[in-house]
A and B are shown apart, each in its own frame.
Chain A
């Protein structure tokens, strides 16, 4: 039976961790994810978990500890944000290429610099090519639910890839919401045990991990890894289906909101979806056919499915909450626009980079984007594709 509780996003993750009772937690503080190891430390102090709680001296060592622990056959978890994730960068690749199912709670915060503690997605977007599965949450409920599904996805035998469960720093990590929680026993049953066939310890044969992989072998291993990421899409949907059957809440690769007849649509990630939904209701009341695609799974990227979902839309704004520094748009834009290339008739498409380093994005801001899409439809002119929204400017900006 689900039950209602008021929890912040960080509390919800820590609560899920306690229920799962992972083997090893490598802990290092960084705003805004610090509360996760803090809450968990109390569970350890109270004897509520069996976990080895390793208080490392850096995020680099927290990921290294997870690598060692996962290779030893343990369920290893950690949490981080921003610079912490950046400091792990090399180890993110190691974890993925060694095919170690590690679960990382990423509380998204902008990446230096200048240093700033507020939310955007530049930290995890910087890690988008590291070989990690990335799942994003709109709210506390989704953060909790995604975390409960994480290990089963990443431990799927033909996947075996580490997984990042992302939520928006402060916006969901620190905001308290009423959410549905599941009972400990039901969570344990759903998540199950992990007993990998091979491990550094406790098997009748030794295991060697992390070779020097010479040219005749290394590309083959990289292809295996790429295949595993393709397999992850199926695994995510399988686990989501079981989750829905078990707990009644439905998840997919992304959420389509009022898309059935949408003429203008946004594609975005995370908590801004709530703001966009409020805006859509307002516009729909005026007769505007507005819709939204909220990306849940960014890696693997649901390319064909996104293209299909946008195939009937006339104008799309892809909202990037991180700057790509490519001089032509953010990372989500690159993926979505690429996804639509194979469509017979493509929607007009712009990129809006917004909300950097915690810059607020209100319903009125989202409305400006929809109005701009309507303007594009009226004029037939897409205009500049790569726009920023929310910054002060001495010039007249498009948004």
Chain B
């Protein structure tokens, strides 16, 4: 019996679920793709970005990955498009666009 969050779903019988709703690993929320909630999408312009990283701590969804002191492009799996990063960027390196889905 797997006790990993990725193997527990709405079809799991009670015998195969963890007792009391415990989970034995961290960060399993990553499996939830909250990017689907988005109606506006931030667009990052690496040319304009000065890598000040002011945007990164303001993201409620941890969707501005930072590696070795530099930000990368958005984690669109989880970004909800709140626009805080766009508003706080002093260099207009982030703009908001309407989300278009194929």
A–B contact (CB under 8 angstroms)? yes
In whole angstroms, what is the CA distance A2 to B10 when docked?
Answer: 54
Smallest CB separation, A29 vs chain B (Å) = 30
Which residues of A sit under 8 angstroms from B23, Cβ to Cβ?
207-208, 211
B24 CB contacts on chain A under 8 angstroms: 198, 205-208
Is the pair B25, A220 in contact by a Cβ cutoff of 8 Å?
Answer: no
Closest B residue to A160 by beta carbon equals B19
Contact across chains for B19 and A99 when beta carbons are under 8 A apart: yes
**Interface pair B21/A206, CB less than 8 Å apart:** no
* Residue in A closest to B16 when the chains form the complex, CB atoms: A220
Chain B residues near A160 (CB-CB < 8 A): 19-20
Whole-angstrom CA separation of A210 from B22 in the bound complex: 7
> Given B13, B14, B21, which contacts A211 in the complex, CB threshold below 8 Å?
B21
Bound CA span A99–B20, Å: 6
Inter-subunit contact B22/A208 (CB<8 Å): yes
Report whether B14 and A220 are in contact in the complex, using a CB–CB cutoff of 8 Å.
yes
Q: Is the CB of B17 within 8 A of A206?
A: no
Interface status of B26 (Cβ within 8 A of chain A): yes
Chain A residue nearest in CB terms to B10? A216
Which of A100, A160, A206 is packed against the most chain B CB atoms within 10 Å? A206
Alpha-carbon gap, A19 to B24, bound state (A): 33
Is B12 at the interface (CB under 8 A from chain A)? yes
CB neighbours (8 Å) of B25 from chain A are 205-206
A149 within 8 A of B: no
Shortest C-beta distance, A348 to chain B (Å), equals 40
Chain A positions 222-245 with a Cβ under 8 Å from a chain B Cβ: 223-225, 227-228
Of the A-B pairs whose beta carbons lie under 8 Å apart in the complex, a sample of 27, sorted by A's number, is: A98-B20, A98-B22, A99-B20, A99-B22, A100-B20, A160-B20, A198-B22, A205-B24, A206-B26, A207-B24, A208-B22, A209-B20, A209-B22, A213-B21, A216-B10, A217-B10, A217-B17, A220-B12, A220-B14, A220-B17, A221-B14, A221-B17, A221-B19, A223-B14, A224-B14, A224-B20, A227-B14
Excluding A100-B20, A198-B22, A211-B21, 18 further A-B contacts by CB distance (< 8 Å) are A98-B21, A198-B24, A205-B24, A205-B25, A205-B26, A207-B24, A209-B21, A209-B22, A213-B21, A216-B10, A217-B10, A217-B17, A217-B21, A220-B17, A224-B14, A224-B17, A225-B20, A227-B14
Query: Which positions in A face B, CB cutoff 8 Å?
Result: 97-100, 160, 198, 205-211, 213, 216-217, 220-221, 223-225, 227-228
